[in-house]
Structure 1
Amino acid sequence: IISCLLGVIEAVAVLAGSDLCPPSVRHWLIILLVHSHQPPSQAITQVGMLSPAFLFGTCLTIAGAMLRRHCYNVLGRFFTFELSIRDDHKLVTSGPYSIVRHPSYSACLLMQTGQMLFWLDRNSWLVTCSGLLPADEYAMTRVLWAARAFMLSVGYVWILRVNHEDAMLEKSFGKEWREWAKKVPYRLIPGVY
């Protein structure tokens, strides 16, 4: 929910910073969205300047969301948010599961990387307009690097979960899982891990 809310705020801020936004609407959006240490019209214009990192991050986030949705569809009723094996569970090895063993987690990592790129970009609403981050450049840099480190550590949690899930699947499906793991040796990133 927070991800979606921040995404909507970011999109509205980009619109407000562009020439597409009528001046009367822009005025109210600035009042609602800008709580910055710099002049509001300057801050909102800065958000409207889309950087390559912001655009690439947006593309990664959308691609990750689409892949995750596809994984939900392929798994069907076997998809759960908690690690579990159902009584009538079947090992799904088709679709994205024929490329990596945990494409749903790959999708989460894509989304997380994309969000890190656009939320923590110097031109993002969160950094430029929210007022949540310090005005001092040195302090801002430290906060941004700490946020990046935190998001990377969350990625490590996905790796731990993948290892636990592999062990659980091997225990439940035995030879069938081992044969699949031989055919699909990579867990998250094809050719890497």
Structure 2
Amino acid sequence: MSIAAVGKTLWVLGILAWYFIRRPHERRARRVQVVTHRRSPSERIGLAAALLGLAIVPGFYVATGIPESADYAARPWAVAIGIVAFVAAMWVFRRTHKALGRNWSITLEIRDRHELVSSGPYAFVRHPMYTSFLLMGIGQAFLLPNWLGGLAGLVGFAVLFFLRVDEEERMMLETFGPQYRAYMEKTKRIIPYIY
């Protein structure tokens, strides 16, 4: 098996891991009442961009090899970095879902008896789910030796993050007030100690 094929296979396995981590939380979330939500056009655009960049565009590339003109030589060191980034992404992704428990939702929502979570990965950053998406995008860029398929994940993540994070923080401030403001002062957004 070529290095490029190994990278593609590992990307597919990472996406399957993402799905199997997320699925039980989606099912449980349907049973918890939503008190308020912020579903907006910009949020829908951000979620669509993330799906397109982290799943559809790279999936199309992996399945078809198109656009072949954007391919470059795969390197073992790049695949190794991609594996580390994707494993880290899945670890953070799983820990984030576990820490959120019944508070998790795919859209900007406050649920019945919603609690401010500040343990687990939330002790280090306010938005570890975005941290996991950033790590997925980095992993994808190293696993898929194609300028379009590889970098689409970082673009999708960036669109989601910049369209959504400010609105998410406003919603949390409205819900938790001084408690969330104090939490913001102790933590960074997505990269511990940096940003």
Query: What TM-score, normalized by structure 1, do the two folds share?
Result: 0.60
Match of 1:7? 12
Q: Does 2:177 correspond to 1:152? A: no
Q: Would you say how many aligned residue pairs link Structure 1 and Structure 2?
A: 132
CA–CA distance in structure 1, aligned partners of residues 165 and 121 of structure 2: 16
Contact preservation (8 Å) 2:125, 2:191: yes
Match of 1:84? 109
Distance 1:176 1:150, change over 3 A: same
CA–CA distance in structure 1, aligned partners of residues 84 and 115 of structure 2: 33
Alpha-carbon shift at residue 163 of structure 1 (Å): 1.8
CA–CA distance in structure 2, aligned partners of residues 34 and 102 of structure 1: 32
Q: Does 2:185 correspond to 1:182? A: yes
Contact preservation (8 Å) 2:89, 2:132: yes
Q: Greater Rg, structure 1 or structure 2?
A: 1
Opposite residue 155 of structure 2, the aligned amino acid is S
Quick one: percent identity of the two aligned structures? 33
CA–CA distance in structure 1, aligned partners of residues 139 and 11 of structure 2: 13
Contact preservation (8 Å) 2:140, 2:153: no
Match of 1:168? 171
CA–CA distance in structure 2, aligned partners of residues 165 and 89 of structure 1: 14
Distance 1:106 1:87, change over 3 A: same
CA–CA distance in structure 2, aligned partners of residues 67 and 164 of structure 1: 22
In structure 1, which of residues 55, 60, 66 is the aligned counterpart of residue 91 of structure 2?
66
Match of 1:51? 76
Distance 1:178 1:54, change over 3 A: same
Match of 2:16? none
User: Which of 1 and 2 has higher RCO (CA within 8 Å, sep 6+)?
Assistant: 2
Distance 1:4 1:165, change over 3 A: farther
Distance 1:101 1:52, change over 3 A: same
Opposite residue 12 of structure 2, the aligned amino acid is G
CA–CA distance in structure 2, aligned partners of residues 110 and 152 of structure 1: 9
Contact preservation (8 Å) 2:85, 2:138: yes
RMSD: 2.9
Structure 1 residue ranges (4+ consecutive) displaced by more than 4 angstroms after TM superposition: 3-6, 33-36, 146-149
Alpha-carbon shift at residue 148 of structure 1 (Å): 5.0
Q: What SS does the aligned partner of 1:189 have?
A: coil
Match of 1:116? 141
Query: What TM-score, normalized by structure 2, do the two folds share?
Result: 0.59
